[in-house]
Amino acid sequence: MLLEVVEWARAVLGQWQALVTGGIVTALFIAVQSYRGKPFSWRVSRWIFLAFLVAALFLAWRAQRIAFRNAQTELADIKRELNRERDRNAPKLIGEIGQTLTFDVQLPDGRAAGLLLWVSIRNLGMDSVVTDYDVTLNFPDGRTLRPQSAMVPKNIVLSDLGMSMKDASAGALYEKTIESPIVHGGSRSGLLLFTMRGVRSDDLRIPGTRLVLSFRDVIGRPYTASMQFPSGNDRGKYQYCPGTPPIKPTMKKGR
């Protein structure tokens, strides 16, 4: 604070000195005094010097204001350039949910619904790992559910749907993106598994429900990919997705 006061006083003194020792006003003051043939009285000189002081205060303030505005402009330009540079050198991830599969899971302490996603992530920016996969289900009636992330098991057998997948864990997307970055222009595809206790699989696929998948890049920037469940239940209409083990039909056991 003291340093700022000293700098301000120096600026005012410099402006006042410039006004007193040179300039049109000073030249006019000397010319009038020479024409009169005698110096101005101390009273007049005092008011003239006071006017110079007021003018010096204004000029010092104006100079500081201009300098401040110029500094703000330069700072804004630097920030814009840094943002452009950051965007050029930051990851740019694009996620896509290819297909979904819901199924019921019988647990020792009750039932749960499973949600299996086929997800592809492309990277158009800097190389980056992908972390913090999460899912939110937004239902048409305003309710929201957040299934818990789960590890993809080695084998998946869905007897109620007549489907099975061997070596499913090899297709887990989180394993493919947590240690090995997705390079610029590259992509990774894989499986993500989520579970929700106390609900049935059909409860997750109410027509009009929007599924939002969120994830983050290496610098923590969030991304989302979303899809809306169609009107009707198409749980059995699935195709092979690159980067994941194929689902094969199995014989359903009689109930």
- Length of the chain as a residue count: 255
Residue with tokens 């303030």: 61
Helix (H, G, I), strand (E, B) or coil at 204: helix
Same domain, 10 and 27: yes
Render pLDDT for 146-204 as a digit per residue (tens, 0 to 9): 999 999 888 877 666 667 778 888 889 999 999 899 999 999 999 999 998 888 888 88
Q: Which residues constitute the domain of residue 197?
A: 93-249
Same domain, 98 and 175: yes
Is 84 a residue whose pLDDT tops 50? yes
136 assigned to some structural domain = yes
Helix (H, G, I), strand (E, B) or coil at 222: strand
> Can you give the pLDDT at residue 101?
84
Give the chain's largest Cα–Cα span. 126
Q: How many domains does the chain have?
A: 2
Same domain, 178 and 242: yes
Q: Are 238 and 156 in contact (CB under 8 A)?
A: no
pTM for the model: 0.63
The DSSP element (H or E) to which 137 belongs, if any, is strand 131-138
Mean pLDDT lowest among 40-44, 57-61, 143-147, 205-209: 40-44
The pLDDT > 70 percentage for the chain reads 72
Quote the strand ranges of 186-229, DSSP E: 187-197, 210-216, 222-228
Is 25 a residue whose pLDDT tops 80? no
254 assigned to some structural domain = no
- The band of 240, judged by pLDDT with boundaries at 50, 70 and 90, is low
Last residue of a domain, one of 39, 60, 88: 88
Same domain, 183 and 108: yes
Same domain, 14 and 54: yes
72 assigned to some structural domain = yes
Last residue of a domain, one of 40, 63, 88: 88
Tally Cβ neighbours within 10 Å of residue 192. 22
Is 142 a residue whose pLDDT tops 80? yes
Same domain, 79 and 98: no
Same domain, 142 and 23: no
Helix (H, G, I), strand (E, B) or coil at 244: coil
Q: Are 114 and 103 in contact (CB under 8 A)?
A: yes
Q: Are 79 and 35 in contact (CB under 8 A)?
A: no
> Can you give the pLDDT at residue 29?
64
Closest CA to 196 of 132, 119, 137, 120: 137
Same domain, 28 and 127: no
Q: Are 199 and 112 in contact (CB under 8 A)?
A: yes
Last residue of a domain, one of 56, 88, 120: 88
Q: What would the mean pLDDT of 91-102 be, rounded to a whole number? A: 90
187 assigned to some structural domain = yes
Phi, psi dihedrals of residue 126, rounded to the nearest 5°: -65, 150
